[in-house]
Every structure is written in structure tokens, then in C-alpha cells.
Chain A
Amino acid sequence: MFTYVPLLWSVYLSFFDAHNTVSPHRFVGLDNYTSMLRDRAFTDSLGTFGLFALFIVPATYALSLALALMVNRLRYLQAFFRSVFFLPAACSYVVAAMIWKLSIFNGVRFGLANTVLGWFGADQTAWLSTTHPPWYWLVIVTVRLWLQAGFYMVLFLAGLQRIPAQLYEAAAVDGARPGWQVFRYITFPQLRATSVAVALLLVINAFQAFDEFYNLLSDSRGYPPYARPPLVYLYNIALGRGQNLGEGSAGAVILALIIAVVTVVQARWFGLGRRED
């Protein structure tokens, strides 16, 4: 109810001129759409986001799968390691962004990363404010990896525990070498259903990226022009100084359409829904 009604309202609102008001009066047709699509800042934000998703989804996938494989083989301390990797899931993006921004990747005088690099004689880096090279990507990506990997590791662990032991015994009889071969021909195919679920959830979560971008990069002067995901940009347009709710809605509709297309393509690709009768 609170998704579809606003979505429809958003479509309706996107055809109107709605500055500072929630009751639009002037019909402007597709003007909001054309002005959004011509807006470099908006298209750039879509690009930024695409790059982010393209990187964060496989990276989180690989890290959480690797963690699950390693933890699953442990005979002792399995619960301990699982807890350690799972614990960041309790942390909010706001808190994590603070630790990253003010304690690890602080660029000015202090900060763990610069201290450690200093031991090796490296110069200090202003992690979040240099755009060439774009070190802020490292900050943004590591926050999300830290926060998410443990949760998906648990999903993979659940999948691993469901693989019947006979399969491994049969593989051993057939002479499959433990390690890569077993993983390639037994473990990975058996994890297919889990993999699909994890990939979908990761993409959905990447689409929602807002909290850490907002908290890492904005300060009292506002948000810098680089590294803007679409949600941050829409937030600025709709609720910032302009309060342009019409254009904001148009942007939201464009974004929703893109997400819908990507999701459908992805679902087809993975064959999701085939088993639903």
C-alpha cells in the first residue's frame, strides 16, 4: 500500500509543476522528464550508481561466499568466527560511515589508514576529498563490504549445510581432488538457489544506497558534486533548497523504471520464478 500508492502518485505528480507544494496545479506534460534527463548531475548520478553496483555486488558476493566456505570447514570456533563476521550487521550505516570518515579514513592529521601507511613512509591521503585518483571509492566500498558480508555469509552457510554429504563421498570415489574441483563441480552448482537469492538481494540493496554516501561525503557545506548516487540527488532536488517535487518525482519514476528493467532481466537470466507454478 505504501509502495504502490506513492508510486502512482509519483507518476501523476511527475507531469506537474510542483515547487514547494504538494498540491500541483499546472500540468507540464513531459517537461519534468526532459529536464531531468538533460540534467548532467542526474545522469552522472545514474552513472555513478551503475559503477557502484557493478563493483559492490560481485565483491560482496565473493567475500561472503569465501567467508562461508572457510567458516564452514572449521571444526572448532565456528560459532565464534561466525559471530565476528555477523556482528557488523547490527551496526547502522550512519555509525559505520562515522567510524570510516572520522577514524579510519580521516585525511587531515589523524586516522588509522594514514597512520598505518605512515609507518611505511607513505604520504597522507585526503581520502574523501580527492577526485583524482578517486580514493573515496575505497572508503565507500569497504564500508558496505564490512556491513553486509556477514549477513550473506549466513545465507551461504545455510545453503552449504543443506548439501548432502553423499555427494562429496561420491565425488571422492570418482577421484575428484578436494579443493577447486569439488567446489567447481559439487559445491557451487548445489548453491545455485542461494546464489540467486543473494545476488538479487545484493542488487536491491545497492539500489537503496543512500545512508553511507550521504553521511560519508556531505558536510556543513552540503554534498560535493562527485560520487552522487541517484537517491542523494533526488533528495537534494525534492527536499533541498528548490523543493521541486515534480522533477523529483520524474526522477524517481525514471529510476524505478531502470530498476524494474534490470530486475526483470536479472530474474530471466537466473531463471527465477521458473519453479513457481
Chain B
Amino acid sequence: MEKALLGFGRAVRLVLLVVLALLFLIPFYLLVRNGLSTEQDITSPDWTFFPSHLRWSNVGELFDDPAVPMARSLLNSGLIAVTTTVGTVLLASLAGYGLARIPYRYANQVFYAVLGTLMVPAAVTFVPSFVLVSSLGWISTMRGLIVPTIFSAFACFIFRQYFLGFPGELEDAAKVDGLGYWRTYWRIVVPNSKPVFAAVSTIVFIGAWNSFLWPLVIGQDKSAWTVQVALSTFTTAQVVNIHELFVAAAVSILPLLLVFLLLQRHIVAGIERSGIDD
């Protein structure tokens, strides 16, 4: 009796999981379906699960459309995402290491100040940040888009928590060998912390690629648009080429999905070991 009940519970759970998984996948399916459909197939009142035929020429049309500089936007997004990731991981890991390992009087206060920037989200400060960037004359420049975003309190927090749990023996051995903090960090700590670096890099990369408010505020010229800004001009435009819009959206998440599927194991492992919940 008990066993039958348990088996029943397991079956219910499995069915629930499958249903939820399908719900979670539907938006991706719609993205691909609409991206490869004709406009009629998308907007037809008689909606069908499969489009009448696959229209691969949407991709070519998208890149030929002079109204939206898709190739340029992709390039901008790529440049911004890579620079931001490298810069953030470098700064945040050093800051996190310093906060975790170098004892000085105000270490905790500094840590709370950094955490504080997480609590008061940077988005609230976009008005003054805009003022700051525009008085530097950085509107619509890569500098204006990249420099203000190059540190992340969240990343710093994850690194600090991770380094707090880093085995001290290894560092002690380095100290005995006469290495200072700087060289200990590069030679001992970094090579032994690959999972957390992989995890934070991916999270930062995704965040930078997907960020919207800041590029919308700063990237006012078409030449400085990111993919997300280019996409949103589609949704607010008067005349919408709906099939082009969907293929653009699909193209915009393709790089991330690749990164994600390749690195998923490391991301999850890194988050799990980051000690975010300790």
C-alpha cells in the first residue's frame, strides 16, 4: 500500500515536470517557428503549430535591412560583452580576494559598502550616471557604454564568499616560499579556482549581452546600438516586419545559447561552489 502510494506520487511528479518543461520550452519554439515563417504564417488568425513552409531567407533579409543595423549592433554587443566580462572578472576577483584575505581595519565596512551598491541597484542611479557620462562627452561611444558597467558588486560578493572558503594551507605554503599576496593570487589561487571564474564570467557575459536600460540611455546614435536596443526599436516601431523581428531575436540569443549549452555544467558547478548561500 505504502509502496503503491509512493509510486503514484513519483508518477504525478514526473508528469508535472514534463508539463512544466514543455511550458518552459514553448517560448523558444515560438521564437524559432516565427523566425522561419512568412509574415502571413505568423499573423494568420488560423494559427498552426507548424508554419506552412520554412523561410530561411528571413535571415538574409534581416541583415540587408537598412533600417536596423543588425550586423553593427551584434558587433557592438559582442565587443561590450567581452570587454565588460574581462574587466569585471579581473576587478571583482581582485576585490573579492582582497576583502576575503587581506586583513585591515575597515575590511568589513568596505565589504558592506560594496554590498550596499548591490542593494541600491545601479539602475536607480541611471539619471546621475547619464549626467556624468554626458558631461564627459561619452554619449554614444563605446567608452560610455562599457566603463560605467565594468564592476559588479554581485560578482565581487561571489568571489569573496568563494575565497573565504579557499583552503588556507595552499596559500600558507606559498607564503613560506616567499610569495606576496599578488603572486600568491596569480600563481596559486587563480589556477585553483577555475569553476568560480567560469561561472562568474558566464553570468557577467550574459548580463552584459542582455542589458538594456543603460545601452538604451547611452547608445543614442544608430552606430552605438546594441542588439537589445535594435530589437526594442522593432517593438516600438510603427510598421513592424514581424518575421524579421523574430529572426532578429533568434539571432540575438544564438551566441548565448551556445555559450550556455557548452558551459552549463561549469556554470552550475560554479554557482554551487560559489558559497552564495553560506
Contact = CB atoms under 8 A, between A and B. Distances in A.
A155 B27 contact: no
Given A94-B232, A146-B27, A252-B128, A81 B21 contact: yes
B151 to A, nearest CB: 7
Contacts of B276: 155, 158, 197
Residue from B31, B134, B261 whose CB has the most chain A CB atoms within 10 Å = B31
A155 B34 contact: no
B257 interface: yes
Interface string A85-108: 111111111111111111110000
Contacts of A215: 212, 232, 235-236
Contacts, number: 231
A245 interface: yes
Instruction: Bin chain B's interface residue count.
Output: 35 or more
Interface in A72-86: 73-74, 81-86
Contacts of A88: 24, 27
Instruction: Bin chain A's interface residue count.
Output: 35 or more
Residue from A99, A204, A208, A249 whose CB has the most chain B CB atoms within 10 Å = A99
A146 B20 CA distance: 10
B128 A104 contact: no
A67 B18 CA distance: 11
Given A6-B128, A102-B235, 13 more contacts: A6-B131, A6-B132, A70-B13, A74-B17, A86-B268, A90-B260, A92-B252, A104-B27, A110-B42, A111-B47, A210-B212, A220-B236, A245-B127
Interface of A: 1-7, 9-10, 13, 22-23, 67, 70-71, 73-74, 81-104, 109-112, 115, 146, 150, 154-155, 157-159, 161, 178-179, 193-194, 196-197, 204, 207-208, 210-211, 214-215, 218-220, 231, 234-235, 238-239, 245, 248-249, 251-252, 255-256, 259-260, 263, 276-277
